[in-house]
Amino acid sequence: VHSLGTVVHDRPNWHSDKYIYPAGFKTSRAYASLTQPEGRCLYYSEIVDDGKDPKFVVTAETGQSFSAPSATSAWVQ
Protein backbone atom coordinates (compact mmCIF):
# COMPACT_ATOMS: atom_id res chain seq x y z
CA VAL A 1 0.00 0.00 0.00
CA HIS A 2 1.46 3.34 -1.07
CA SER A 3 -1.42 5.57 0.07
CA LEU A 4 -4.63 4.96 2.03
CA GLY A 5 -6.32 7.92 0.36
CA THR A 6 -9.11 10.07 1.76
CA VAL A 7 -12.69 8.99 2.45
CA VAL A 8 -15.18 10.89 0.29
CA HIS A 9 -18.28 11.04 2.48
CA ASP A 10 -20.35 13.66 0.65
CA ARG A 11 -20.82 11.82 -2.70
CA PRO A 12 -22.91 8.62 -2.74
CA ASN A 13 -21.00 6.75 -5.48
CA TRP A 14 -17.85 6.69 -3.32
CA HIS A 15 -19.23 4.02 -0.99
CA SER A 16 -21.72 1.16 -0.88
CA ASP A 17 -23.09 -1.17 1.76
CA LYS A 18 -19.96 -3.30 1.33
CA TYR A 19 -17.14 -0.97 0.20
CA ILE A 20 -15.56 2.43 0.74
CA TYR A 21 -13.54 3.85 -2.18
CA PRO A 22 -11.04 6.38 -0.75
CA ALA A 23 -9.81 8.95 -3.26
CA GLY A 24 -6.06 8.63 -3.73
CA PHE A 25 -5.84 5.00 -2.53
CA LYS A 26 -2.83 3.43 -4.27
CA THR A 27 -1.26 -0.03 -4.19
CA SER A 28 1.15 -2.05 -6.31
CA ARG A 29 1.67 -5.73 -7.02
CA ALA A 30 3.77 -7.90 -9.30
CA TYR A 31 1.85 -9.77 -11.98
CA ALA A 32 2.40 -11.29 -15.42
CA SER A 33 3.90 -8.82 -17.90
CA LEU A 34 1.89 -7.64 -20.90
CA THR A 35 5.04 -7.27 -23.02
CA GLN A 36 7.19 -10.24 -21.92
CA PRO A 37 5.15 -13.48 -21.82
CA GLU A 38 7.40 -15.19 -19.28
CA GLY A 39 8.19 -12.10 -17.23
CA ARG A 40 6.52 -10.15 -14.45
CA CYS A 41 6.17 -6.44 -13.84
CA LEU A 42 4.72 -4.09 -11.26
CA TYR A 43 1.16 -2.82 -11.62
CA TYR A 44 -0.11 0.21 -9.75
CA SER A 45 -3.80 0.29 -8.84
CA GLU A 46 -5.38 3.54 -7.73
CA ILE A 47 -8.70 5.24 -7.13
CA VAL A 48 -8.84 8.65 -8.81
CA ASP A 49 -11.33 11.43 -8.12
CA ASP A 50 -12.99 11.98 -11.49
CA GLY A 51 -15.16 14.84 -10.25
CA LYS A 52 -18.37 12.97 -9.42
CA ASP A 53 -17.53 9.27 -9.41
CA PRO A 54 -14.44 7.23 -8.54
CA LYS A 55 -12.30 6.09 -11.46
CA PHE A 56 -10.24 2.94 -11.00
CA VAL A 57 -6.90 3.00 -12.80
CA VAL A 58 -4.41 0.16 -13.28
CA THR A 59 -1.02 1.15 -14.72
CA ALA A 60 1.78 -1.24 -15.64
CA GLU A 61 5.34 -0.10 -14.97
CA THR A 62 5.87 -0.53 -18.74
CA GLY A 63 3.39 2.30 -19.39
CA GLN A 64 0.09 0.65 -20.32
CA SER A 65 -2.84 2.11 -18.41
CA PHE A 66 -6.43 0.93 -18.03
CA SER A 67 -9.30 2.79 -16.37
CA ALA A 68 -12.89 1.85 -15.63
CA PRO A 69 -15.80 2.65 -13.30
CA SER A 70 -14.99 -0.42 -11.14
CA ALA A 71 -11.79 -2.07 -9.93
CA THR A 72 -12.78 -5.39 -11.49
CA SER A 73 -13.39 -3.79 -14.89
CA ALA A 74 -10.01 -2.04 -14.81
CA TRP A 75 -8.17 -5.29 -13.98
CA VAL A 76 -10.10 -7.31 -16.59
CA GLN A 77 -8.88 -4.95 -19.31
> What is the 3-class SS of 13-37, one letter each residue?
HHECCCCECCECCEEEEEEECCCCC
Model confidence pLDDT, tens digit, residues 1-48? 999 999 999 999 999 999 999 999 999 999 999 888 899 999 999 999
Compute CA distances 56 → 36, 37, 38, 46, 49, whole Å: 24, 25, 27, 6, 9
pLDDT tens string 51-61: 889 999 999 99
- Going by pLDDT thresholds of 50, 70 and 90, the confidence category of residue 68 is very high
User: Is the overall model pTM greater than 0.85, yes or no?
Assistant: yes
pLDDT at 42: 96
